[in-house]
């Protein structure tokens, strides 16, 4: 994030539900955020800004990275938009297409993708087939989505939840 973006955001930062606020179109302004492989946030108990309403079903399972990474020595150029978009699209395109009903039997270690038609379809898939992921959308944006694609670790692989509008490129 650039300093200018940080300064823009800090002025309106809410006291609670900042993650919902960040997904609002007036804040996002078409911007995207890459999906972190390991969350850099952690909750240490049921009481917090959401009043504990999500702790048991979602937040209790979060884990912190326990491996030291020298980020100054890492080549993170793959996170540049053009490179990231191409790499993610290649992974989504290479994944086996399955239906929501096939999620429980998804082959171990083999990436798969499921297409969702709209927010209601996404919510149904998340609720009925993927216990533990948050189902809500704010401003048309699902939690942890990048250009509509949600990545879920499942059965030793990645399950991509892909909007019906996906054309093979990001």
Q: Judging by DSSP bridges, how do beta strands 141-142 and 145-146 pair with one another?
A: unpaired
Which of 46-50, 68-72, 76-80 is predicted with the least confidence, judged by mean pLDDT? 46-50
In this predicted structure, what is the pLDDT of residue 139?
Answer: 75
DSSP 2-50: -HHHHHHHHTT--SS-HHHHHTSHHHHTT---PPPSS-S----SS-STT
Q: Mean pLDDT throughout 87-106?
A: 96
101 assigned to some structural domain: yes
Mean pLDDT of the residues in the chain: 85
168 assigned to some structural domain: no
117 assigned to some structural domain: yes
10 assigned to some structural domain: yes
73 assigned to some structural domain: yes
104 assigned to some structural domain: yes
Summarised one tens digit per residue, pLDDT across range 16-38 is: 888 788 888 899 898 888 766 66
In this predicted structure, what is the pLDDT of residue 103?
Answer: 95
Residue 63 Cα distances to 50, 59, 130, 151, angstroms: 19, 9, 19, 17
In this predicted structure, what is the pLDDT of residue 65?
Answer: 73
Q: Residues 19, 20, 85, 136: which is the catalytic one?
A: 19
20 assigned to some structural domain: yes
In this predicted structure, what is the pLDDT of residue 66?
Answer: 80
pTM value is 0.78
Domain span at residue 108 reads 3-163
Q: pLDDT band at residue 137, thresholds of 50, 70 and 90? A: confident
In this predicted structure, what is the pLDDT of residue 58?
Answer: 63
Q: Is the pLDDT of residue 51 over 80?
A: no
Q: Is the pLDDT of residue 158 over 60?
A: yes
In this predicted structure, what is the pLDDT of residue 159?
Answer: 96
In this predicted structure, what is the pLDDT of residue 32?
Answer: 85
Q: Is the pLDDT of residue 49 over 60?
A: no
Assign residue 45 the CATH number of its domain.
3.10.180.20
169 assigned to some structural domain: no
75 is catalytic: no
Residue 96, classed as helix, strand or coil, is strand
Number of domains in the chain: 1
């Amino acid at each position: 994030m650039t300093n200018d973006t940080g300064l823009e955001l800090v002025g309106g930062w809410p006291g609670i539900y900042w993650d919902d606020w960040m997904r609002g179109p007036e804040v996002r302004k078409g911007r995207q955020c890459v999906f972190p492989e390991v969350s850099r946030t952690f909750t240490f108990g049921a009481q917090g800004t959401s009043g504990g309403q999500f702790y048991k079903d979602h937040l209790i399972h979060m884990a912190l990275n326990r491996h030291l990474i020298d980020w100054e020595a890492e080549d993170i150029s793959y996170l540049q938009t053009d490179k990231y978009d191409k790499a993610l699209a290649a992974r989504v395109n290479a994944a086996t297409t399955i239906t929501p009903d096939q999620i429980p039997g998804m082959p171990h270690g083999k990436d798969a993708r499921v297409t969702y038609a709209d927010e209601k379809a996404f919510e149904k898939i998340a609720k009925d087939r993927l216990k533990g992921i948050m189902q809500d959308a704010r401003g048309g944006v699902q939690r942890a989505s990048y250009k509509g694609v949600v990545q879920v670790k499942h059965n030793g692989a990645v399950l991509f939840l892909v909007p019906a509008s996906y054309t093979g490129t990001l």
